[in-house]
Amino acid sequence: MDRIDLRSDTVTLPTQAMREAMAKAEVGDDGREGDPTVRRLEEKAAAITGKEAGLFVVSGTMGNSVAMFAHTNRAAGTVLLDEKSHILRSEMGAIATLAGLFFKIVPAKRGAMDLDRLAEAIQSSLSEGELPTLMIEMETTHNGAGGTVLAPEHMQAVFALAKKHGIPVHTDGARFFNAAVKLGVRPSELARHTDSISFCLSKGLSAPVGSVIVGSKAYIQRARAWRRMLGGTLRQAGIIAAAGIIALETMIDRLAEDHESARRLAEGIHDVDPSLVDPRSVETNIVMLDFQKSGRGAREWAEALNANGLWVRPGGATRMRLVTHRHIGKAEVERAIAAFAKVSKELRARTPVRAVAGE
Ligand SMILES: Cc1ncc(COP(=O)(O)O)c(C=O)c1O
């Protein structure tokens, strides 16, 4: 029996319709006159988000880097963001090493930066000897915070504050459509509260490769030049963009199923051991587990779960992130819960129980 892969939604495989669209894609040289399929994807992405233009990039990480370059143009300055942002935690420091930017961390709760502290940070960057604030970054859904969704009112407040000071806002929306689906609003409703978004086609939307940055025409024109500098100009990229078009056309609404699976998974694990997770904390397709009270570390849990048909990995000494996606249906959720029940029993039977340091 196949292992149930709960490591990430990036493991989703392209659908048959995507493979067929890729085989038939009309293509051209995207670094010269343009690739017609890439152009269609970019136009579709812009239309869905209510922005003027879009730019296809190979990954979410490249999307964030190109987006930062295009907002800041390598000027000396600061980006304001939260400590758990993907840009800080998982992009190899590109914000500093590539984009040449300084950053300041704004305290956040469940991925939402504190508005007073954000205002203070902007204010302090106006004083002599400080670098100017060149960009504010939000992330929704917020990966590091556990798939949390920024409230539209919060996004609106951040955007209003930024505009008051003439500062551009970029949103890392790797799972932007999960946020819109969860809130039951059109993606363009959320996109109003940010200048640019980068969103991924290759996560819950199941395309094999790619992300899109959306924003104003002038902004995307600058982003296109920075993408070239980073080596991100592709040629017959319509082959992969074709799958992205299918992703946008057919995969957004079904994300609600992944949210439902995550909630059920969390409830089942809670029934096994209530200390591991509070199901009410699950907003989208990410379940964050905390093993501290179980007396066993995340590595020990992961090894035992992996031996029982799950594919999971520790996310620190006592934490683990589970992600639901298109290949996790009701049967897989129930099998995963059963594996947790079995492992919980096995681990309890092992002696001695050690004290596990939290993070
Ligand atoms: C919030 C967020 N931003 C950016 C990325 C990077 O995407 P990629 O893996 O396509 O570079 C991820 C990937 O998990 C993410 O979760």
Residue 38 CB neighbours (<10 A): 29
One-letter amino acid identity for 322?
A: L
Q: What distance in Å separates the CA atoms of residue 14 and residue 114, rounded to the nearest whole number?
A: 38
Q: Containing H/E element for 24? A: helix 16-24
How many angstroms does the Cα of residue 86 sit away from the middle of ligand 1?
A: 7
pLDDT per residue over 154-212, tens digit each?
Answer: 999 999 999 999 999 999 999 999 999 999 999 999 999 999 999 999 999 999 999 99
- First CA to last CA across the chain, in angstroms? 35
How many angstroms does the Cα of residue 344 sit away from the middle of ligand 1?
A: 31
Q: Are strands 133-139 and 78-81 parallel, antiparallel or unpaired?
A: parallel
Say whether pLDDT at 358 is over 80. Answer: no
Task: Please give the sequence-ordered ranges of beta strands (E in DSSP) within the chain, or none if there are none.
Answer: 4-5, 53-57, 78-81, 102-105, 108-109, 112-113, 133-139, 169-173, 196-200, 211-215, 286-290, 310-311, 319-323
Look at 358 and 239; give whichever has higher pLDDT: 239
User: What is the band of 350 on the pLDDT scale with cuts at 50, 70, 90?
Assistant: confident
Q: What distance in Å separates the CA atoms of residue 126 and residue 122, rounded to the nearest whole number?
A: 7
pLDDT per residue over 53-76, tens digit each?
Answer: 999 999 999 999 999 999 999 999
Q: Mind listing the domains of the chain with CATH numbers? A: 9-250 (3.40.640.10), 254-345 (3.90.1150.10)
The alpha-carbon radius of gyration of the chain (Å, integer) is 21
pTM: 0.96
Q: At what angle do helices 16-24 and 238-250 cross, to 10 degrees?
A: 140
* Residues with C-beta less than 6 Å from any ligand 1 atom: 59-61, 64, 86, 139, 143, 172, 174, 200, 202, 211
Residue 351: DSSP 8-state: S
Say whether pLDDT at 357 is over 80. Answer: no
**Residue 67: which of 237, 222, 241 has the closest Cα?**
222
Question: Which residue's C-alpha comes closest to atom 8 of ligand 1?
Answer: 60
Q: Specify whether the CB–CB gap between 285 and 325 falls below 8 A.
A: yes
User: What is the band of 2 on the pLDDT scale with cuts at 50, 70, 90?
Assistant: confident
User: What is the band of 139 on the pLDDT scale with cuts at 50, 70, 90?
Assistant: very high
How many angstroms does the Cα of residue 145 sit away from the middle of ligand 1?
A: 14
pLDDT per residue over 228-276, tens digit each?
Answer: 999 999 999 999 999 999 999 999 999 999 999 999 999 999 999 999 9
Q: What pLDDT score does 352 carry?
A: 60
**115-139 mean pLDDT:** 95
Q: What pLDDT score does 250 carry?
A: 98
User: What is the band of 338 on the pLDDT scale with cuts at 50, 70, 90?
Assistant: very high
Say whether pLDDT at 354 is over 80. Answer: no
Question: Which residue's C-alpha comes closest to atom 6 of ligand 1?
Answer: 60
Q: What pLDDT score does 356 carry?
A: 59
Q: Within 13 Å and on the Cβ side, how many CA atoms surround 255?
A: 29
pLDDT per residue over 298-333, tens digit each?
Answer: 999 999 999 999 999 999 999 999 999 999 999 999
The two three-digit tokens of residue 320, written as one number: 């683990």
pLDDT per residue over 151-160, tens digit each?
Answer: 999 999 999 9
Q: What pLDDT score does 359 carry?
A: 60
How many angstroms does the Cα of residue 65 sit away from the middle of ligand 1?
A: 11
User: For a substitution probing ligand 1, which of 85, 172, 206 has the most ligand atoms within 8 Å of its CB?
Assistant: 172
Residue 192 CB neighbours (<10 A): 14
> CB under 8 Å to 44, separation ≥6 — which residues?
54, 245, 248, 249
Give Cα separations from 215 to 1, 223, 310 (angstroms). 45, 10, 40
**Residue 197: which of 151, 285, 137, 109 has the closest Cα?**
137
**72-83 mean pLDDT:** 97
**What is the residue-wise DSSP string for 61-117?**
HHHHHHHHHHHHTT-S-EEEE-TT-HHHHHSTTHHHHTT--EEEE--EETTEEPHHH
User: What is the band of 217 on the pLDDT scale with cuts at 50, 70, 90?
Assistant: very high
Residue 295 CB neighbours (<10 A): 16
One-letter amino acid identity for 303?
A: E
Look at 356 and 30; give whichever has higher pLDDT: 30
